[in-house]
Every structure is written in C-alpha cells, then in structure tokens.
Structure 1
Amino acid sequence: MPDTPLPRDELRATVEARRELGPEYESALTEAFLDRIETTIAQRVKAEADSRLPDPRHSTWAEQQERKRHLGLALGSLGIAIPLTGAASFSAGLSGLVIVWTGIVAVNVAYALGQRRRR
C-alpha cells in the first residue's frame, strides 16, 4: 500500500487547522480533507488492483500468440463476410445471407468452444 497518512491523522490535522483559522475556512478545509481521503482511497484501490491483476506487459509468448489468433479469426471472419454477404445477397437473396452468416457464426462459436475446452 502507498505510504499515506491515516485518515484519522488527516482528520485531526484538519480539525486543528479549523480551530486555528476559524469557521470561515471550514468549507475549504473540509473540501481539502475530502480530496485527500479520495486520493488515499484511489491509491489503495489501485495498489490492490495492481497486485491482483497480471501486468499485460509481462504476458508470456503463448498468451501473445493466443491473442494474435483471436484477432486473426475476428479479422478473417470480417474479411470473408463482406464479399460473401455481397455475393449471397446478389445471387441468392435473404436465404443466401442466412446461410453465409450461419456459417460464419458457426465457425466462430466452434473456435470459442474449442478454446474453452483447452483451458
């Protein structure tokens, strides 16, 4: 966790400053205190999240290759879908579109299910 003062210490310091400066500074002191608390909470949440989540810069070669395969399938599906959609709609109409898109969806679902089984 980041080295930040405990909220109690911050609150004590804020109350003491209010006593010294008077009630006309109460709003500014309260806002400053709440900003420090918010910053402390954000730092702690970030530190906790960073400790639990893997750093993508340290991914393994296999993970990088798997991401490339996923991207390749997605781009390949779109690349083949565009001309097939045009050809199917021109020659076979709606039934051709349904067949083309059913095939594209089936390929992607089969790939996703295969990936899930491998894990």
Structure 2
Amino acid sequence: MDTRDTELKKELDATLQARRELGEEYESALVDSFLEKVDQRIDGAVERRVRRQFAEQQMVAARDSRSPGATDSWGERFGFGIVSLVLAVPLSAIGGGVAELPGLLVAWAGIVGVNVVQAARLNPGLFGLGRRRRDADTSGADGWRD
C-alpha cells in the first residue's frame, strides 16, 4: 500500500473515532473535514501530474526545435544561396587570378561542396542519405532511428 494511502486511511480512522466520541451531531462537520482533506490530496496529485506532463511536453518541444530539420526554413535556404553567390564572385576572381583555370575550378568546387553539405543537412533524404541511414540501423520497429 502506498504511504499516501496509509495516511489517508489513518485520517479516516481518526475521523471515525472522533465521530464515535463526539456523537452524531458532529458527523456532518467531520465528514466535511475528511472530504476536504481528500479533495486537497486529489488536487495535489492532479497538479503534480499536470506539471509533469507539461514538463515532458516542454522537453519534447525543446528536443524537436533542436533537430536538424527544425530550422529548415525558406529564409535560411534563400539566405545561404545569396551568401554563396556573393562570395562566389571574389573567390572566382582570386582563384582565377592566382592559378587561372585550375584555381577557378577549385574555387567553384569548394562553393558547390559547401552548398551540397548545406542541402544534405537541411534535407537528409536528399542524395539517398536517408535510405542509407534507415538500412544501417534496424534497431527500431519501423527501421528508423529516433
């Protein structure tokens, strides 16, 4: 038996003992007092449960907001594309000016590489990466890692 249950049982026993000693004229007040204690216990249990569920929901929301796909917004993709194009101009000029065609190719390979990594980060299913992840880990019931 739970300690709270034993405490409640003791309260009920004390209420019944008081009723025997005081008589039936105090029965209503004793019952009301006991029911008030029961209500307080129920309210406390409900409040603890609601707080726990709220905390769990907050933890899930925080975990989901930190997931890689959670920041995948149109603005982020657009901004990254603009920054890549803006930086491509001076990188192309420096690479082409220093090492001519090979320097230009290295500069553009770097720009394309950074954009591919960014695209793969924002969309794990791109380039077949999601399939490899699913095939590599079959520990879950549906084959996907949590």
Task: Report the TM range for the smaller structure's normalisation.
Answer: 0.3 to 0.5
Compute the TM-score of the two structures, normalised by the length of structure 2. Answer: 0.36
- The one of the two structures with greater contact order (alpha-carbon pairs below 8 A, sep at least 6) is 1
CA radius of gyration, larger in = 2
